Amino acid sequence: MAHAIRFHQTGGPEVLRWETVDVGAPAAGEVSVRHHAVGLNYIDTYHRSGLYPVPLPSGLGLEGAGVVEAVGEGVTDFVPGDRVAYAGGPLGAYAEVRNLPAHRVVKLPATLSFEQGAAVMLQGLTAQYLLRRTYRVQPGDTILIHAAAGGVGLIACQWAKALGATVIGTVGSDAKAELARAHGCDHPIVYTRENFTERVREITGGAGVPVVYDSIGKDTFMDSLRCLRPLGMMVLFGAASGPVPPFDLNLLNTMGSLYLTRPGIVAYTAKREDLVAMANELFEVVESGKVRIEINQRYALMDAAQAHRDLEARRTTGSTILLP
Ligand SMILES: NC(=O)c1ccc[n+]([C@@H]2O[C@H](COP(=O)([O-])OP(=O)(O)OC[C@H]3O[C@@H](n4cnc5c(N)ncnc54)[C@H](OP(=O)(O)O)[C@@H]3O)[C@@H](O)[C@H]2O)c1
């Protein structure tokens, strides 16, 4: 028997319950992982609230790091004792121990701690595909990243800077602006006070940016489009302020033949070879020191509800982990 956070109805953080679960032996193709750390991600709040519907009752969480305790039939890539980490896969990372498909798991390099592994996998793989595949950032690009002091934000700012970009980032406070600046954000904009479209136009001499990475959604979407130069790419990858309402596609034409995409980590990591290549690239930028993993909040796993409250109230910066 083990403990896990589960929920039986959608709602606020109070729906999260600390329960005893029977994990059982891993099925064919699965590994059993004892978590040393679990990653907190904004998407966990969408599952909990019902914005992204899931069958109930359900476990929660998509990211963890720990040690393989057992492997199911047919698993050849892992043996008990391996240090591993993962992002994605079935919900259920908020648990002391769990089973999950072996093809979702990668070996954690010896240079990374379990805490770092749990903090960086989902947000770091997201930064990887956003900057390297969705819109491939080039040296000399000036780009806009929203929520620059958040989990994805701090990683993406550092990585984009290392790729040779000039980074404009939005943040909710002056303290967050300083943090973003210390992590590669050349021009932090406090968007709760400043008009970020005007500031982006000023910074780019009126030209606009080739790409906006927008994870805020409803509150920023239209203004983000206004920051783009002709043929620019709008990358909407989250909805921290709520989902974007239905949208007249003709606006993409009148605003400058813009591109719009709504990517998610699932499709980008669906093939095992892509997941492994992306993880290797991520581990490389961490090991080289180009991207520092900032774990700015730690909670006991059983206190996951408080972690959700703080995340949704914009009280966190960088990455957050839950400790079993
Ligand atoms: N599509 C994908 O593959 C994918 C993968 C990972 C993450 N994401 C998305 O990326 C975003 C960042 O994820 P994360 O885990 O790194 O979280 P995070 O950025 O650490 O936290 C969310 C941040 O959004 C900002 N925000 C702006 N308006 C907000 C509002 N009304 N309510 C709450 N927060 C608001 C806050 O920063 P300020 O105070 O500075 O504004 C807050 O700290 C989320 O939208 C998430 O869904 C998408």
**Reported pTM:** 0.98
The strands making up 2-7's β-sheet, listed across from edge to edge, are: 17-21, 2-7, 58-59
Q: How far is the CA of 311 from the centre of ligand 1 (A)?
A: 8
- Three-state secondary structure call for residue 18: strand
- How many angstroms does the Cα of residue 112 sit away from the middle of ligand 1? 24
Other beta carbons within 10 angstroms of residue 121's beta carbon come to 28
Per-residue pLDDT reduced to its tens digit, 31-47:
999 999 999 999 999 99
In this prediction, residue 79 has a pLDDT band, given cuts at 50, 70 and 90, of very high
Pick the closest to residue 109 from 272, 273, 283 (CA basis). Answer: 283
| Residue to mutate (ligand 1; options 38, 41, 63, 312; most atoms within 8 A of CB) | 41
Nearest CA to ligand 1 atom 26: 240
CA of 72 to the centre of ligand 1 (A): 36
Q: How far is the CA of 104 from the centre of ligand 1 (A)?
A: 24
Q: Are 150 and 317 in contact (CB under 8 A)?
A: yes
Contact (CB, 8 A) for 208 and 229:
yes
| pLDDT reading at 74 higher than 90 | yes
Q: Which residues contact 153 (CB under 8 A, 6 or more apart)?
A: 145, 146, 147, 169, 171, 180, 215
The protein residue whose alpha carbon is closest to atom 13 in ligand 1 is 42
Contact 18, 5 (CB under 8 A): yes
The rounded percent of the chain whose pLDDT value lies above 90 is 99
Instruction: Determine the atom of ligand 1 nearest the C-alpha atom of 240.
Output: 45
For a mutational test of ligand 1's pocket, the pick from 154, 214, 215, i.e. the residue with the most ligand atoms closer than 8 A to its C-beta, is: 215
For residue range 93-146, what is the model confidence (pLDDT) as tens digits? 999 999 999 999 999 999 999 999 999 999 999 999 999 999 999 999 999 999
pLDDT above 70 covers what percent of the chain? 100
Q: Which residues pair with 100 in a beta bridge?
A: 31
Question: 1 pLDDT band (50/70/90 cuts)?
Answer: confident
291 pLDDT higher than 90 = yes
